[in-house]
Amino acid sequence: MTTEAELLAERRIWDPIETRPPEALRALQLERLRALVERVSRVPFYRDQFQRHEITPQRIRSLDDIRRLPITTKEDLRRHQPLGFLAVARRELARIHGSSGTTGRPTFVAYTAGDLKTWSDLCARFLVAGGLRPEHTAQVAFGYGLFTGGFGLHYGIERVGAAVIPAASGNTRRQIDIMRELDPEVLICTPSYALTIADTARELGIDPRSLPIRYGHFGGEPWTEDMRHQIEAELGILAFNNYGLSEVIGPGVSGECPARTGMHLQEDHFLVECLDPETLEPVPEGQPGELVITTLTREAMPLVRYRTRDIARIERSPCRCGRQTARMSRVTGRTDDMLIIRGVNVFPSQIEEALLRVEGTTPHYVIEVDRPERLDILTVKVEIHPEIFSDRMDRMQSLRERIGSEIQSVAGIRAHVELVEPRSIERFVGKAKRVLDRRGLHEG
């Protein structure tokens, strides 16, 4: 298996702009920000706000002036559905995608031919950084519908010159058959589905490490460093994280290099702020905040200061790979899926981190929140490995106590822990649904 150090030594970089000095990159961002303000003035939502606050390209004198521009939210996009944010004529569109709708009604996003070229280039950047070569074959186990993941990665792979197997999502046994027949070096899917592939291979009597894949590029859902280690150990690969969202462009906003100390932001195309979600003021570098993204080069549907609701950190220290762009941490949660339980803020990713610290657990779990009377009750149902599962009450109780202790240590809250049999929790081929909140907090 290729090692992290060997990939770093190769110093594979898709676009020289990734190594442009920070000062030159900031100058390019300012130039593109001014052009963006001119371009989005054709969109009624922005035109009205710009007129009200006397915002013009000439008044954008530094990148700090981004804070004078309006915030855009998912609710704004929904109010102007289906294509009220278009900055080009309808005849200029080349494709229309849609968000996954996991937090509400799906919203549509449009692309020009120029946007599609940009998108494929952005995906090519992190794919090359994570091991993809023109001579490789990549198996895409993402959906190919309105969801942007499958198509974004597909065209990024083709942009590099590698071959694509558009396996789409689901039918895990067939996915494994395809791997064994066609020998792809790269797997593209959600991290939870990568583990489902490993589980299914074992059920078929196949050692997951014998599968031909060497690299995995995973996204579409938050995942922890412990989960990365588990995927790598079970499949014998190097696993890379990438980040994107449909409203902004899809996958390609950022991705990891071989150093894997954060995902490099594509700052020539996106101006990314990290803000306190309550005050919308910048947080100190390295502190967690909500990512707010301005699309500097989008043609069809450019967005100004879009609130992603994703919580992450931004780091600007030098990277060993030679790229000069800032890096973001993995997403640790969302401001709109954060659970507030007995006054404590809890993210599902914290529960996952705690579970994977305990030997014998798996990353297959469900978080249930109930309020039978006046007190919130947090229950975590978690699968354990078959060799650990036992009828011995003392052994199971000890494992429950260790898991409960880790959850309290990581998330700061006590939880009821239920150990369930292997393969008893539903598997998902797309984004895993981890939380069942029965409190009815969003009703009415």
3-state class (DSSP) for residue 243: strand
* 105 pLDDT above the threshold of 90: no
Query: Do 199 and 222 lie in a common domain?
Result: yes
Q: Please state, in angstroms and rounded to a whole number, the distance separating the CA atoms of residues 292 and 274.
A: 6
Identify the H or E element spanning 380.
Answer: strand 377-384
Query: Do 173 and 242 lie in a common domain?
Result: yes
Determine the pLDDT at residue 444. 36
Residue 57, in any domain of the structure: no
Query: Do 137 and 151 lie in a common domain?
Result: yes
SS3 content of the chain, % helix, strand, coil (to 5): 35, 25, 40
3-state class (DSSP) for residue 2: coil
Determine the pLDDT at residue 80. 94
Query: Do 326 and 352 lie in a common domain?
Result: no
Average pLDDT of the segment spanning 100-127: 86
On whether the CB atoms of residues 212 and 179 are closer than 8 A, the answer is yes
Query: Do 290 and 265 lie in a common domain?
Result: yes
CB-based contacts of 316: which residues, under 8 Å, 6+ apart? 22, 285, 326, 327
Question: Quick one: CA dihedral 159, 162, 166, 168, positive or negative?
Answer: negative
CB count within 10 Å of CB 407 equals: 26
Burial of residue 58, with CB atoms counted within 10 A of its CB: 0-12 exposed, 13-18 middle, 19 or more buried:
exposed
Query: Do 270 and 142 lie in a common domain?
Result: yes
Number of domains in the chain: 2
Residue 47, in any domain of the structure: no
Residue 49, in any domain of the structure: no
pLDDT cut 70: percent of the chain above it: 95
Query: Do 289 and 425 lie in a common domain?
Result: no
| φ/ψ (deg, to 5) at 194 | -60, -40
Determine the pLDDT at residue 443. 41
On whether the CB atoms of residues 45 and 76 are closer than 8 A, the answer is yes
Determine the pLDDT at residue 374. 66
* 129 pLDDT above the threshold of 60: yes
Token pair 């007995």 in the structure block, residue? 342
Query: Do 106 and 255 lie in a common domain?
Result: yes
Residue 261, in any domain of the structure: yes
Domain end among 297, 314, 334? 334
* 442 pLDDT above the threshold of 60: no
Q: Please state, in angstroms and rounded to a whole number, the distance separating the CA atoms of residues 427 and 98.
A: 23
CATH number for the domain spanning 407: value is 3.30.300.30
Structural domain span for residue 144? 4-24+93-334
Q: Please state, in angstroms and rounded to a whole number, the distance separating the CA atoms of residues 150 and 160.
A: 16
Token pair 């081929």 in the structure block, residue? 429
pLDDT tens across 378-435, in order? Answer: 999 999 887 777 667 788 899 999 999 999 998 889 999 999 988 888 877 666 778 8
CA 93 to chain centre: 26
Q: Note if the bond before 16 is cis, omega within 30 degrees.
A: no
Identify the H or E element spanning 128.
Answer: helix 113-129
Query: Do 358 and 395 lie in a common domain?
Result: yes
Determine the pLDDT at residue 102. 44
Domain end among 334, 356, 373? 334
CATH number for the domain spanning 136: value is 3.40.50.12780
**How open is the CA angle 237-141-272, to the nearest 5 degrees?**
80
Q: How far apart, in Å, are the Cα atoms of 3 and each of 10, 186, 218, 288? A: 11, 15, 18, 30
CA 267 to chain centre: 17
Determine the pLDDT at residue 285. 93
Strands 93-98 and 108-112: antiparallel
pLDDT tens across 11-50, in order? Answer: 899 999 999 999 999 999 999 999 999 999 999 999 999 9
Q: Please state, in angstroms and rounded to a whole number, the distance separating the CA atoms of residues 330 and 333.
A: 9
Average pLDDT of the segment spanning 190-195: 89
If one compares 234 and 353, the residue with the highest pLDDT of the two is 234
Residue 353, in any domain of the structure: yes
The DSSP code for 84 is T
On whether the CB atoms of residues 201 and 156 are closer than 8 A, the answer is no
* 344 pLDDT above the threshold of 90: no
Determine the pLDDT at residue 440. 66
Determine the pLDDT at residue 359. 87
Question: Quick one: CA dihedral 147, 149, 150, 152, positive or negative?
Answer: positive
Determine the pLDDT at residue 103. 44
End-to-end Cα spacing for the chain: 54
Average pLDDT of the segment spanning 340-351: 81
pLDDT tens across 222-262, in order? Answer: 788 888 999 999 999 999 999 999 999 999 999 999 999 99
Burial of residue 439, with CB atoms counted within 10 A of its CB: 0-12 exposed, 13-18 middle, 19 or more buried:
middle
Angle at which helices 393-411 and 348-356 pack, to 10 degrees? 130
Local confidence band at 100 (pLDDT 50, 70, 90 cut-offs):
low
Determine the pLDDT at residue 170. 87
Local confidence band at 342 (pLDDT 50, 70, 90 cut-offs):
confident
Average pLDDT of the segment spanning 129-142: 97
Domain end among 305, 334, 363? 334
pLDDT tens across 306-336, in order? Answer: 999 999 999 999 999 999 999 999 988 788 7
Residue 123, in any domain of the structure: yes
Strands 163-165 and 137-140: parallel
CB-based contacts of 113: which residues, under 8 Å, 6+ apart? 94
Nearest to 356 by CA among 216, 256, 228: 228
Determine the pLDDT at residue 391. 67
pLDDT cut 90: percent of the chain above it: 70
Query: Do 346 and 325 lie in a common domain?
Result: no
CB count within 10 Å of CB 359 equals: 10
